[in-house]
Structure 1
Amino acid sequence: MQKAKSNDNPNQTKHAHWKNVKKYTPFYLMLILPVIMLGVFSYGPMYGIIIAFKDFSPGLGMWRSPWNNFDHFTRMFNDFLFLRALRNTIWISLLKIIISFPAPIIFALLLNEVRQMTFKKITQSVSYLPHFMSWVILSSMIVEVFSPQRGIINYFIGLFGVEPIHFLASKAAFVPILVGTDIWKELGYAAIIYLATMSAIDPGLYEAADMDGANRFHKMIHITIPSIMPMIIVLFILRLGAILNAGFDQILNLYNPMVYEVADIIDTYVYRAGLEQFQLDYATAVGLFKNIVGILLIVFANMLIRRKSEHGIW
């Protein structure tokens, strides 16, 4: 009887599988266009990384250009400007991970405790708004706020007899401005996923905690945070993999030659090398290096976290 049961199980599993496929056929059809777009615009152009290993000449084309025996990668690690950009990228990204990453978690936890629904909805709407504005618009606002002639900050410190400060040209002030404005732009939108995760927590857990005499702080620490921890871990792994993405749009629209020493990152370095100096092959090599490091960091972080817990991306 057991043998007959084992023979029937594969058929039942196969039948259930095709039943699910038939049930969700409209959703599979909806995926066709996104998958095609992903292949055409994300995976299709990847063949272009071959020029990172060549002395690319537009006249000869990609395939006929000569191989360079990894000269671009050798040049990369001997270039002071690249090493400076790498250092700045890691430093700015680490600051954003340490300061910006926990900010939406804290905001979501605090917002989850608000019981006045009108105030909660208004706060959410106001906090979401900057995310939907481009850095071109936001940078114009930030420049005006910190302007030494028209800025509101310099106006207030001028009331105390302090001379106007050009914040965006100050090496000491520029990086804190980057971190602060990054939090301002993404705080509300990044908190959405945590609020959605909190809404799925079993209310019975809170009711049981109430019966045990737990206050709201205890429930946050012992129920809410452990419940959203898997989501925090997944997002942290993905954020760690993007450690060499320090915010190209933000920095490109805010920085200037006065702060290159602390603000020039890999992406702006690639932008200048590739589009301004037309060194497409060298810029491709730098970009390839950055992406390989990002993939390795994701794999390593996921492997490390899986050893310590059951959570991870895979």
Structure 2
Amino acid sequence: MLRIHFTAQDFARTRFAPRPAPLQELHAALATAVAPRGGPLFAPWRGRVLRALPAAAGPLADLVPAGRPPSFLDVLGDTLADGFRQIRATRPGLVRAELERVHAAGPAPRWLRGLHAGDETAWRTVQRAQQAAYETVLAPVWPVVQDLHREEFTRYALAVAEHGLAAALTGLAPGSRLHEGVWEWPGAVPARDVRLDGRGLVLLPTFHHPAGPLLQDAPGRPAVLTYPAGPGIPPAAQRPAVPAGAPAAVLGRTRLDALRLLAEPHTTTSLARALHVSNATASSHAAALRSAGLATTTRTGRSVTHRRTALGTLVAGGGPP
């Protein structure tokens, strides 16, 4: 069982990653490809991936013997280059300690000894391997992963607004529960207790790892929980388009119109006028959007001004009202 211990400060610092992280998704996909996860739905995908991986990606297998990845590979970055910069910035002592941990059972390949010594040629080998694996495994489906992430982001935000943070968290993992500040995931392997101690938690969905949560717990940084999401099958390069009316089906037509109007600041009165509703109704829509994290409200004297947030722009699609 995975038990994550929250303080009040941790609840305040829990957030959802606004975008997918290419390296995290890649590592989740590779972990699924080399282990019997996902059952028959993933079997054909696993075979295709393993046959297609180029030789240049081989060093990644050396880095993760027996499914035990070194912790310095787990980074959040919006691009491959950003993720690799974060990996390369890892303290040399931590790199050495993690390589020794994952290869404790036997000798490491020769090139990894160079990585242990901080050799730049070895680091370039890692970068080339990640790039080669990404181009083969993720690049063809990355637009689909981005769409899935936006949908999951929106679902989580609306769950928080409607039911609160506790219900939104447990909704990410059927069978989990939040009790007295401890979020419990039954069946998670390996069993562990993680104390956030004020660092907070970042929630990151993965669409290639259906077998349970992956937790990055680096000292001095927010913990990152990568959890299974999506339809439970590997993303395909072609995916049906999301119907244009899907946001309206979730928010309601008038509330979606309000969200799109709030690309520019509006007072309650001007919002009501644009929506052709009463001030009270406009205020209610703004309050609901604010509770969901889709809009902000600023008060100046007796006047209030509403404007949508970055999440609101994501949900609205950036389109005009």
TM-score by length of 1: 0.25
Highest CA radius of gyration, 1 or 2?
1
Greater share of residues in helix:
1
Structure with more strand by fraction: 2
What TM-score results when the alignment is normalised by the length of structure 2? Answer: 0.24
